[in-house]
Structure 1
Amino acid sequence: MSQFAFKQFSVTQRHAAMKVSTDGILLGAWAPVSNARSIVDVGAGTGLVALMCKQRNPNSSIYAVELDQAALVDAQYNITHSPWPDIKLCDTAIQAFECETQFDLMVSNPPYFNTSLKSQDPARNRARHTDSLSFDDLLSAFERLTSPQGQLAVILPYQESLLFNQLADKRNLSLISACTISTTPKKAPSRRLMLFSKLAHHTKDEQRLVIYDENNQYSKEYVALCQAFYLKM
């Protein structure tokens, strides 16, 4: 599908290697944007997560950072034709990104494959493998670009989330909220949403969300989280 229509915007995905996914939708709907005056989306791809964050908090200043030229074509089109053309699209790697703004929130649906076999598509490899953006690079960018009260929201496969959590812990970053994602009630968690803070927290809120119920319909919890975006929900 070259275009994915949401309630308030559409995502054209003719050029980007990574298309609209449930991972991106979950992150864009779950990240705590209501009190964030400034947000940076790392590895913005088609611009999906940045657009979702802007819909939820139209008053926020959002930067979408992406280095893949094909994805940038789609992201530019999607942002320009959205209700929020003021989203700032930045053509660079996050490792080289500089900004006077100290962001309140960083969001990322980052590459996560470390050793798995690569495809013949270099753009897809950049989007899926940590060669271009390691977990340590992402955490370093979070420390460098956000305010002392800044937060980082990410989504990762469950096993990779445990490694990411360990790396964050070594930097004295606090996991303050998490949500494990299962496709159905009987399946083990496949994804995990996580929210980190630079501030010390002694308690962690760990939730579980199932996408489809026993009747193969969207669960009530998933509908509650995402109904502001899907056309048919």
Structure 2
Amino acid sequence: MKPFRFQQFSIQQSKNVFRVGTDGVLLGALCSLSSPKNILEVGIGSGLISLMLAQRESSAKILAIDINSEAIELAGVNFRNSPFSDRLKTKFQDFKNFESDEKFDLIVCNPPFFEENNSDKDILARQQVELNFENLIEKSSQYLSSEGVFSVIIPSFSADEFVNLAMEYQLNLVRRINIFGIEGGSLKRNILEFSLASKDVEILDFTIEKSPRNYSEQYLQLTKDFHVFGK
């Protein structure tokens, strides 16, 4: 497969690892960064989100884990070929068994969101086979720093379920971004952010396209430091 080229890094891709997609780009560009020292990405895929965060926050050290050994190998190549390689680390790890002596200022994840089904496409990345919402929330609550942020992107139909589960583990919703695929269209995704500290909830709307195959000004502005856009 051809690499996906961004302005400051390239992503080698594989048919056996979840590819670069709009969800990952949105989470990498929109998730909150308040000078985090330590970032944990759960479910690394090709390494896209970690690379975007490394570009956005020059002082952060990022640990990216995945249960898929092929993803770890591929992301490792992408990390080593990037200008941020000294701050990026991969680990072959099941998050359900994750242990660390430190806590993280940002935990970020584009989680599997389909219930287990008969599809053979990207089973680990798309289906809740190895990691479900509750596993993800419970572990994240354990390793989030006192002022840290836990940030995910999920389909809008799962948002309320995710928020309610997070509350059971003392994670408070602090930011909700409503993502519309096209201007005037239906709500497609939510970026949800949580903290152990209780704060007022920030609610934002974001539209990807103003018409079919015509990006909105919001999207162009958001990704201007990442996408090549014909350069």
2 CA distance for matches of 1:71 and 1:2? 16
Partner of 1:207: 204
Aligned partner of residue 180 in structure 1, secondary structure: strand
Report Cα offsets for 1:155-195 as digits up to 9, x if no partner: 00001122111101222311111111111112101111111
1:58 aligns with: 58
Q: Say if 1:76 and 1:16 are closer, same or farther in 2 by CA, change over 3 A.
A: farther
Q: Secondary structure at the match of 1:105?
A: strand
Match of 1:160 in 2: 158
Residue of structure 1 aligned with 2:168, choices 151, 166, 170: 170
Deviation of residue 17 (structure 1)? Answer: 2.9
In 2 relative to 1, CA 221–98 (structure 1 residues): closer, same or farther, beyond 3 Å? same
Answer yes or no: is 1:144 the counterpart of 2:142. yes
The CA distance in 2 between the partners of 1:146 and 1:187, in whole Å, is 35
Match of 1:225 among 198, 210, 222: 222
| % identity of equivalent residues | 31
Give the secondary structure class of the aligned counterpart of 1:7.
coil
Which residue in the other structure is 1:107 paired with? 108
Distance 1:97 1:170 in 2: 20
CA–CA distance in structure 1, aligned partners of residues 100 and 205 of structure 2:
35
The structure with more strand, counted as a fraction of residues: 2
Deviation at 1:34, TM superposition (A): 3.9
Q: Deviations over 1:56-114 (max 9, x none)?
A: 00210100011101211210110010111120101111112222221111000000111
The normalised TM-score by structure 1 is: 0.93
Tell me, in whole angstroms, the C-alpha distance in 2 between the residues paired with 1:188 and 1:24: 20
| Residue deviations 1:138-171 (CA, integer Å, cap 9, x gap) | 1111111121222101000001122111101222
Number of residue pairs the alignment of both structures matches: 229
- The 3 A distance-change label for structure 1 pair 90 and 216 is same
Is the CA contact 1:118–1:125 (under 8 Å) kept in the aligned structure 2? Answer: no
What TM-score does the superposition give when structure 2 sets the normalisation length? 0.94
Q: 1:222: how far off?
A: 1.0
Structure 2, unpaired ranges of 5+: none
Deviation at 1:200, TM superposition (A): 1.3
- Are 2:17 and 2:46, in contact at CA under 8 Å, matched by a contact in 1? no
> 1:15 Cα shift?
4.8
Could you say which residue in structure 1 is the equivalent of 2:126? 128
**Over 4 Å off, 4+ runs:** none
- Conservation of the 8 A alpha-carbon contact between 1:183 and 1:212: yes
Partner in structure 2 of residue 93 of structure 1: 94
